[in-house]
Protein backbone atom coordinates (compact mmCIF):
# COMPACT_ATOMS: atom_id res chain seq x y z
CA UNK A 1 0.00 0.00 0.00
CA UNK A 2 1.13 3.53 -0.79
CA UNK A 3 -0.41 6.54 0.91
CA UNK A 4 -0.16 10.09 -0.34
CA UNK A 5 -0.25 12.72 2.40
CA UNK A 6 -1.24 16.22 1.31
CA UNK A 7 -0.64 19.29 3.45
CA UNK A 8 -3.08 22.20 3.20
CA UNK A 9 -2.11 23.97 6.42
CA UNK A 10 -4.30 24.35 9.46
CA UNK A 11 -3.39 24.14 13.12
CA UNK A 12 -1.76 20.70 12.72
CA UNK A 13 1.03 22.31 10.66
CA UNK A 14 1.46 25.53 12.61
CA UNK A 15 4.84 26.19 14.14
CA UNK A 16 5.96 28.77 16.64
CA UNK A 17 9.54 29.46 15.57
CA UNK A 18 9.98 32.97 17.05
CA UNK A 19 11.99 33.96 13.96
CA UNK A 20 9.81 36.62 12.37
CA UNK A 21 7.11 39.08 13.31
CA UNK A 22 7.34 38.47 17.04
CA UNK A 23 5.32 35.56 18.36
CA UNK A 24 3.20 34.69 15.31
CA UNK A 25 2.50 31.16 14.14
CA UNK A 26 4.03 30.16 10.81
CA UNK A 27 3.60 27.25 8.42
CA UNK A 28 6.59 25.14 7.53
CA UNK A 29 7.40 21.51 6.93
CA UNK A 30 4.33 19.23 7.06
CA UNK A 31 3.69 17.79 10.52
CA UNK A 32 3.04 14.48 8.78
CA UNK A 33 6.77 14.09 8.09
CA UNK A 34 7.65 14.31 11.79
CA UNK A 35 4.86 11.94 12.81
CA UNK A 36 5.84 9.38 10.15
CA UNK A 37 9.50 9.53 11.23
CA UNK A 38 8.42 8.40 14.71
CA UNK A 39 6.13 5.72 13.29
CA UNK A 40 8.67 4.21 10.86
CA UNK A 41 5.76 2.91 8.77
CA UNK A 42 5.54 -0.42 6.98
CA UNK A 43 3.93 1.19 3.94
CA UNK A 44 5.18 3.41 1.15
CA UNK A 45 4.26 7.06 1.31
CA UNK A 46 4.71 10.42 -0.31
CA UNK A 47 4.19 13.84 1.29
CA UNK A 48 3.00 16.74 -0.87
CA UNK A 49 1.91 20.31 -0.20
CA UNK A 50 -1.18 21.76 -1.85
CA UNK A 51 -1.18 25.00 0.16
CA UNK A 52 -0.23 26.30 3.59
CA UNK A 53 -3.18 28.27 4.93
CA UNK A 54 -5.40 28.59 7.92
CA UNK A 55 -8.57 26.80 6.85
CA UNK A 56 -10.61 30.00 7.18
CA UNK A 57 -8.46 31.40 4.34
CA UNK A 58 -8.88 28.43 1.99
CA UNK A 59 -10.62 29.51 -1.21
CA UNK A 60 -12.62 27.73 -3.89
CA UNK A 61 -9.50 27.91 -6.06
CA UNK A 62 -7.45 26.20 -3.32
CA UNK A 63 -10.05 23.44 -3.11
CA UNK A 64 -10.02 23.01 -6.88
CA UNK A 65 -6.20 22.82 -6.86
CA UNK A 66 -6.43 20.11 -4.19
CA UNK A 67 -9.01 18.18 -6.22
CA UNK A 68 -6.81 18.49 -9.32
CA UNK A 69 -3.75 17.25 -7.40
CA UNK A 70 -5.69 14.20 -6.20
CA UNK A 71 -7.35 13.46 -9.54
CA UNK A 72 -4.14 13.77 -11.56
CA UNK A 73 -1.93 11.81 -9.14
CA UNK A 74 -1.42 8.10 -9.87
CA UNK A 75 -2.15 7.24 -6.23
CA UNK A 76 -5.56 6.15 -5.06
CA UNK A 77 -5.35 6.71 -1.27
CA UNK A 78 -4.86 10.22 0.11
CA UNK A 79 -4.71 11.65 3.61
CA UNK A 80 -5.22 15.42 3.65
CA UNK A 81 -4.16 17.43 6.69
CA UNK A 82 -6.45 20.42 7.02
CA UNK A 83 -7.60 23.08 9.44
CA UNK A 84 -10.58 22.09 11.54
CA UNK A 85 -12.78 25.14 10.88
CA UNK A 86 -13.54 24.31 7.24
CA UNK A 87 -12.52 20.68 6.74
CA UNK A 88 -16.19 19.79 6.30
CA UNK A 89 -16.55 22.26 3.44
CA UNK A 90 -13.44 20.89 1.76
CA UNK A 91 -14.73 17.32 2.20
CA UNK A 92 -18.06 18.29 0.62
CA UNK A 93 -16.24 19.97 -2.27
CA UNK A 94 -13.98 16.96 -2.88
CA UNK A 95 -16.96 14.60 -2.79
CA UNK A 96 -18.25 16.33 -5.93
CA UNK A 97 -14.87 16.59 -7.67
CA UNK A 98 -12.88 13.43 -6.86
CA UNK A 99 -13.73 10.13 -8.53
CA UNK A 100 -12.90 6.59 -7.43
CA UNK A 101 -10.23 7.43 -4.86
CA UNK A 102 -10.03 7.43 -1.09
CA UNK A 103 -9.56 10.74 0.70
CA UNK A 104 -9.34 10.94 4.48
CA UNK A 105 -9.21 14.46 5.92
CA UNK A 106 -7.75 15.04 9.36
CA UNK A 107 -6.17 17.78 11.42
CA UNK A 108 -5.65 18.86 15.00
CA UNK A 109 -6.99 21.33 17.54
CA UNK A 110 -3.45 22.00 18.77
CA UNK A 111 -0.29 22.19 16.62
CA UNK A 112 1.64 18.93 16.24
CA UNK A 113 4.66 20.77 17.70
CA UNK A 114 2.83 21.07 21.06
CA UNK A 115 3.36 18.19 23.49
CA UNK A 116 -0.38 17.96 24.21
CA UNK A 117 -1.43 17.77 20.55
CA UNK A 118 -3.79 15.04 19.38
CA UNK A 119 -2.29 15.26 15.87
CA UNK A 120 -0.51 11.86 15.96
CA UNK A 121 -3.69 10.07 17.08
CA UNK A 122 -5.80 11.78 14.42
CA UNK A 123 -3.25 10.95 11.72
CA UNK A 124 -3.12 7.35 13.00
CA UNK A 125 -6.90 7.07 12.68
CA UNK A 126 -6.63 8.38 9.12
CA UNK A 127 -3.93 5.82 8.29
CA UNK A 128 -6.07 3.01 9.75
CA UNK A 129 -9.00 4.19 7.63
CA UNK A 130 -6.80 4.08 4.52
CA UNK A 131 -5.96 0.46 5.38
CA UNK A 132 -9.62 -0.50 5.64
CA UNK A 133 -11.43 1.53 2.99
CA UNK A 134 -11.10 1.59 -0.80
CA UNK A 135 -12.80 4.81 -1.86
CA UNK A 136 -14.88 7.70 -0.59
CA UNK A 137 -14.38 10.91 1.37
CA UNK A 138 -13.94 10.52 5.14
CA UNK A 139 -13.07 12.71 8.12
CA UNK A 140 -10.93 11.34 10.97
CA UNK A 141 -10.96 13.45 14.15
CA UNK A 142 -10.97 12.82 17.91
CA UNK A 143 -10.91 9.03 17.57
CA UNK A 144 -13.92 9.02 15.23
CA UNK A 145 -13.93 8.22 11.51
CA UNK A 146 -17.04 8.80 9.44
CA UNK A 147 -18.01 9.46 5.88
CA UNK A 148 -17.79 13.20 5.40
CA UNK A 149 -21.57 13.63 5.14
CA UNK A 150 -22.11 11.85 8.48
CA UNK A 151 -19.48 13.74 10.52
CA UNK A 152 -20.78 16.51 12.77
CA UNK A 153 -19.04 19.05 15.00
CA UNK A 154 -20.03 20.50 18.34
CA UNK A 155 -19.22 24.20 17.90
CA UNK A 156 -19.10 24.78 21.66
CA UNK A 157 -16.44 22.14 22.37
CA UNK A 158 -14.91 21.97 18.88
CA UNK A 159 -15.14 18.17 18.97
CA UNK A 160 -16.22 16.08 16.04
CA UNK A 161 -18.76 13.30 16.50
Q: Binding site: which residues?
A: 55, 84-85
Could you list the beta-strand ranges (E) of the chain: 2-9, 14-15, 26-27, 44-53, 77-81, 102-106, 136-141, 144-147
- The answer to whether 156 and 149 have CB atoms below 8 angstroms apart is no
Phi/psi of residue 5, nearest 5 degrees: -100, 130
Task: Give the bridge partners for 141, in sequence order.
Answer: 144
Would you give the DSSP letter of residue 85? S
Q: Is 11 a catalytic residue?
A: yes
Q: Which of 11, 32, 86, 90 is catalytic?
A: 11
Do 129 and 141 meet the contact criterion of CB atoms below 8 Å apart?
A: no
Measured CA distances, 24 to 15, 82, 129 (Å): 9, 19, 34
Name the nearest CA neighbour of 84 among 58, 49, 116.
58
* Residues annotated within a binding site for substrate: 55, 84-85
The catalytic residue positions are 11
Amino acid sequence: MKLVFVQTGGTIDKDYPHTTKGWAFEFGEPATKRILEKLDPSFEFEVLTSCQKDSLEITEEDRQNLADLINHHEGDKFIVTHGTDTMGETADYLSKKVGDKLVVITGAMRPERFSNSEAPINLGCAIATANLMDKGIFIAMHGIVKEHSEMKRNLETGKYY
